[in-house]
Amino acid sequence: MAITIRPAILLLPLLLSLFLRSSAQNCLNETFSNNKLYDRCSSLVLLSATLHWTYHPSNGTADIAYRAPQNSSGFVAWAINPSSSGMIGANALLAFHNSSGAVTVISYVFNSYSPSVRDSKLSFTVYSREAEYSNGAYTIYATVALAGNKTTLNTVWQAGQVTGGVPVGHATTGDNIKSKGSTNFLSG
Ligand SMILES: *[C@@H]1O[C@H](CO)[C@@H](O)[C@H](O)[C@H]1NC(C)=O
Ligand SMILES: *[C@@H]1O[C@H](CO)[C@@H](O)[C@H](O)[C@H]1NC(C)=O
Ligand SMILES: *[C@@H]1O[C@H](CO)[C@@H](O)[C@H](O)[C@H]1NC(C)=O
Ligand SMILES: *[C@@H]1O[C@H](CO)[C@@H](O)[C@H](O)[C@H]1NC(C)=O
Ligand SMILES: *[C@@H]1O[C@H](CO)[C@@H](O)[C@H](O)[C@H]1NC(C)=O
């Protein structure tokens, strides 16, 4: 009897490790400009996004690289939500082509469902930020103070439309309303 159930018991951790490995695989092979390297990565799955980061416990900051496919006339965004989950309260970094045709990254705190997105301060320090567009994907690079020195934070990510050089909206169905979660900056 014990012999017949043992394979099933062995199978669960095996399946789990296969699953974890395959969810990491989509990010492990990604490379970045200037040979930037990060300690950890996570495939965020929804919107085909990935997040890479290095956490510095000595000063509570994280260097991040967020990459997601998008056409060159749309935007991508990655946010920490220090006060809640989802869009309201999201402290976001948004990358897009602005009205000069340049790839730019701005920051904005979403406090309503009909925001007027413009570059403004977040509730935590952003030490650096830049973005690039290549091979049909934006990559946002930033160094941020992890809000409240926490190592697990609610995060939200998004992709949507730009009008007149400003991000204006996104689909409110499917992956675009599920793309949120909790990121543990010590694991991944
Ligand atoms: C990384 O691997 C995944 C899964 O095999 C693949 O879909 C993706 O295109 C690869 N990315 C790069 C940059 O090679
Ligand atoms: C945080 O600490 C790391 C590692 O000690 C260091 O490389 C980095 O420059 C520091 N970042 C800031 C914003 O002070
Ligand atoms: C975060 O923790 C580090 C290390 O303990 C400390 O130096 C830093 O001041 C803290 N930052 C905040 C915003 O509390
Ligand atoms: C577009 O972005 C570039 C790079 O960030 C910036 O130099 C330029 O001033 C921006 N143009 C407009 C119209 O905002
Ligand atoms: C680019 O993506 C945005 C947002 O997903 C979409 O609204 C727009 O129609 C797309 N444009 C093109 C040219 O595919």
pLDDT of residue 149: 86
Q: pLDDT tens digits, residue range 44-75?
A: 999 999 999 999 999 999 999 999 999 999 99
Amino acid letter, residue 66:
Y
pLDDT of residue 158: 96
**Whether the predicted pLDDT of 21 surpasses 60:** no
Question: Which of the listed residues 22, 30, 31 should we mutate to test ligand 1's pocket, taking the one with most ligand atoms within 8 A of CB?
Answer: 30
Is any atom of ligand 3 closer than 6 Å to the C-beta of 152?
no
pLDDT of residue 177: 92
Overall average pLDDT of the 100-104 stretch: 97
| Cα 109 to averaged position of ligand 4 atoms, centre (Å) | 20
Q: Which two tokens stand for residue 45?
A: 């799955």
Rounded to 5°, the CA angle 82-120-66 comes to 60
Q: Looking at mean pLDDT, say which of 15-19, 26-30, 75-79 comes out highest.
A: 75-79
Average pLDDT along the chain: 88
3-state secondary structure of 11: helix
Is any atom of ligand 4 closer than 6 Å to the C-beta of 101?
no
Overall average pLDDT of the 30-48 stretch: 93
* Strand bridging mode 166-169 / 91-97: unpaired
Domain spans, the chain? 37-184
| Cα 11 to averaged position of ligand 5 atoms, centre (Å) | 43
Q: Which two tokens stand for residue 143?
A: 């160094």
Q: pLDDT tens digits, residue range 128-176?
A: 999 999 999 999 999 999 978 899 999 999 999 999 999 999 999 999 9
| Cα 165 to averaged position of ligand 1 atoms, centre (Å) | 31
Q: Which two tokens stand for residue 113?
A: 């469902």
User: Residues 36-65, buried b or exposed e (16+ Cβ, 10 A)?
Assistant: eebebbbbbebbebbbbbbbeeeebbbbbb
Can you give the pTM of this predicted structure? 0.85
Fold of 37-184: Immunoglobulin-like (2.60.40)
Q: What are the phi and psi torsion angles at 185 (to 5°)? A: -75, -5
What DSSP state is assigned to residue 12? H
Lowest average pLDDT, out of 12-16, 118-122, 165-169, 174-178, goes to 12-16
Q: What percent of the chain has pLDDT over 90?
A: 81
Is any atom of ligand 4 closer than 6 Å to the C-beta of 104?
yes
pLDDT of residue 15: 40
Is any atom of ligand 2 closer than 6 Å to the C-beta of 128?
no
| Cα 61 to averaged position of ligand 3 atoms, centre (Å) | 9
- H helix runs in 51-120, sequence order: none
Q: pLDDT tens digits, residue range 72-81?
A: 999 999 999 9
Amino acid letter, residue 18:
L
**Whether the predicted pLDDT of 43 surpasses 50:** yes
- pLDDT tier for residue 94 given thresholds of 50, 70 and 90: very high
